[in-house]
Chain A
Amino acid sequence: AQSVTQLGSHVSVSEGALVLLRCNYSSSVPPYLFWYVQYPNQGLQLLLKYTSAATLVKGINGFEAEFKKSETSFHLTKPSAHMSDAAEYFCAVSEQAAGNKLTFGGGTRVLVKP
Chain B
Amino acid sequence: ETGVTQSPTHLIKTRGQQVTLRCSSQSGHNTVSWYQQALGQGPQFIFQYYREEENGRGNFPPRFSGLQFPNYSSELNVNALELDDSALYLCASSRDRSNEKLFFGSGTQLSVL
State the A residues within 8 Å of B (CB): 4, 6, 9, 32, 34, 36, 41-46, 49, 51, 90, 92, 94, 98-107
Query: What secondary structure prevails in chain B residues at the interface with A?
Result: loop
A31 shortest CB reach to chain B, Å: 11
B52 shortest CB reach to chain A, Å: 17
Q: Are B56 and A45 interface neighbours, CB within 8 A?
A: no
Which residues of B98-113 have CB atoms within 8 Å of chain A's CB atoms?
Answer: 98-102, 104-107
Which of B40, B100, B107 has the most chain A CB atoms inside 10 A of its CB?
Answer: B100
State the B residues within 8 Å of A (CB): 4, 31, 33, 35, 40-45, 48, 56, 58, 90, 92, 94, 97-102, 104-107
Write 19 A-B pairs (CB below 8 A) sorted by A numbering. A43-B4, A43-B90, A43-B92, A43-B104, A43-B107, A44-B104, A45-B104, A49-B100, A90-B42, A99-B98, A100-B33, A100-B94, A100-B99, A100-B102, A101-B45, A101-B56, A104-B42, A106-B42, A107-B40
Q: Which residue of B lies closest to A39 (CB)?
A: B106
Q: Which residue of B lies closest to A6 (CB)?
A: B42
B43 shortest CB reach to chain A, Å: 5
CA distance A71 to B90 in the complex (A): 31
Given A106-B41, A106-B42, do A100 and B98 touch, yes or no (CB 8 Å)?
yes
